Amino acid sequence: MAKIPVGVLGATGTVGQHFVKLLLDHPWFELAALTASERSAGKRYAEVAKWYLSEEVPREVADIEVRPTDPKAVEDVELLFSAMPADEAQRVEPACAEAGFVVSSNSSNFRMDSDIPLIIPEVNPDHLALIDVQRERRGWDGYIVKNPNCTTITFVLPLKPLYDEFGIRRVFISSMQALSGAGWAGVPSMAIEDNIIPFIAKEEDKCEEEPLKLLGSLRDGRVELAPIRVSASCHRVPVLDGHTIAVFVELGREATPAEVVEVLSNFRGLPQELELPTAPRQPVIVSPEEDMPQPRYARNAGSVPGMAVVVGRVRGDRALPNGIKFVCCSHNVIRGAAGAAVLNAELLRARGYLK
């Protein structure tokens, strides 16, 4: 089977670099195009990407000429991964979909639009049905699929099996988020050395809204939001990669911590069943250590490094009926961003949404 040629829109930033890394040896996809802003277009990738994942830009992409972020510039590919800033994506992604491209996007625009599938493959793969609604409504040849915010993914993955098994009424999350979530230059060292910053712009809204769509039910071509309430408080901590989240949950019925651990440990989704290349064998790993998950370790956990969510400290909650609390952690740029979009694209291909 020939590999599918793919491109990365906004390939020079933190998420873009992880896309490049994940796609370099991908069994199904062939990295064929890298785009960036006008200022970088025409230059060598190694010249414009402040590569931060290792000492050097991988040899295979160092000399690739960066193209402008424009559908006309990437006509040789079928599938586009988007790591653009939301405002740019808002403008460019529809143009790409109209021009016939499939867009698997990590950008935060459009996520809550009713005809845009917002997908975690282990959670709501059936929502891909919105693709047809979207194409028909918008008259596009191509289409756009989104993955959620990095923090949302990290706590919704473990919530999914609990939602199915016990029901969920109410969720409180308090995040301790990594620096890479803000991009390479997003957080000055003087701002965060010996410090934390208890604020991340727009993050709490995303964490409170996206789970309702992800856990919602598809009915008649639209998603009925899940009848749960989520409250979030989001904070930046001096950690390179890995978002850690304290989660307090009011379940729909009583469950012991041991039952919760069992449900989490046994959780497998469609990507595991389909054995998608980027799917970890176990999407949620429960650590037995009393002081885990810690981001320096959890961010690389799993059979596909960075794609598992590690859960620890499952215990009862005194302040909620049927209350449970736990801590979860995953790699915010892999499972929370680039890896999420790649897994979505693998699901698209496996379900016949790619030619």
State in angstroms the smallest separation of the CB of 27 from a second copy.
24
Q: Which of 22, 157, 187, 223 binds a second copy (CB under 8 A)?
A: 187
243 is catalytic: yes
Is residue 293 at the binding interface for a second copy, with CB under 8 A as the rule?
A: yes
State in angstroms the smallest separation of the CB of 247 from a second copy.
8
Which of 18, 127, 243, 331 is the catalytic position? 243
Question: How many Cβ atoms sit within 10 Å of the Cβ of residue 142?
Answer: 23
Closest CB to a second copy among 75 and 289? 289
Tokens coding 195: 């410090």
Closest CB to a second copy among 25 and 273? 25
Transcribe 277-337 into DSSP letters: TT--S-SEEE--STT---HHHHTT-TTTTT-PEEEEEEEE-TTSTTEEEEEEEE-TTIIII
Which strand (E) or helix (H) includes residue 350?
Answer: helix 339-350
Strand partners, 248: 172, 325
Q: Which of 33, 89, 279, 292 binds a second copy (CB under 8 A)?
A: 292
Closest CB to a second copy among 32 and 260? 260
Is residue 85 at the binding interface for a second copy, with CB under 8 A as the rule?
A: no
Closest CB to a second copy among 214 and 354? 214
- Give the list of residues 6+ apart from residue 319 with CB closer than 8 angstroms, or none: 248
Closest CB to a second copy among 69 and 151? 151
Is residue 275 at the binding interface for a second copy, with CB under 8 A as the rule?
A: no
Closest CA to 160 of 281, 222, 254, 249: 249
Give the C-alpha separation, 101 to 119, whole Å: 18
Tokens coding 203: 């993050």
150 is catalytic: yes
Q: Which of 151, 244, 282, 344 binds a second copy (CB under 8 A)?
A: 244
State in angstroms the smallest separation of the CB of 167 from a second copy.
15
Is residue 191 at the binding interface for a second copy, with CB under 8 A as the rule?
A: yes
Is residue 185 at the binding interface for a second copy, with CB under 8 A as the rule?
A: yes
Site for a second copy in 210-239 (CB under 8 A): 229-231, 233, 235, 237-239
Classify strands 309-316 and 284-286 as parallel, antiparallel or unpaired.
parallel
Q: Please tell me whether residue 344 adopts helix, strand or coil conformation.
A: helix
Sheet of 243-251, strand order = 229-236, 168-177, 243-251, 323-330, 309-316, 284-286
Q: Which of 164, 199, 224, 273 binds a second copy (CB under 8 A)?
A: 199
Q: Which of 172, 215, 276, 306 binds a second copy (CB under 8 A)?
A: 172
Tokens coding 71: 């559908």
Which of 18, 96, 150, 207 is the catalytic position? 150
Give the C-alpha separation, 196 to 193, whole Å: 8
Residue numbers at the binding site for a second copy (CB under 8 A): 14, 52, 54-55, 170-172, 174, 176, 179-180, 184-199, 208, 229-231, 233, 235, 237-240, 244, 246, 248, 287, 289-298, 300-301, 310, 312-313, 317-320, 323, 325, 327, 329
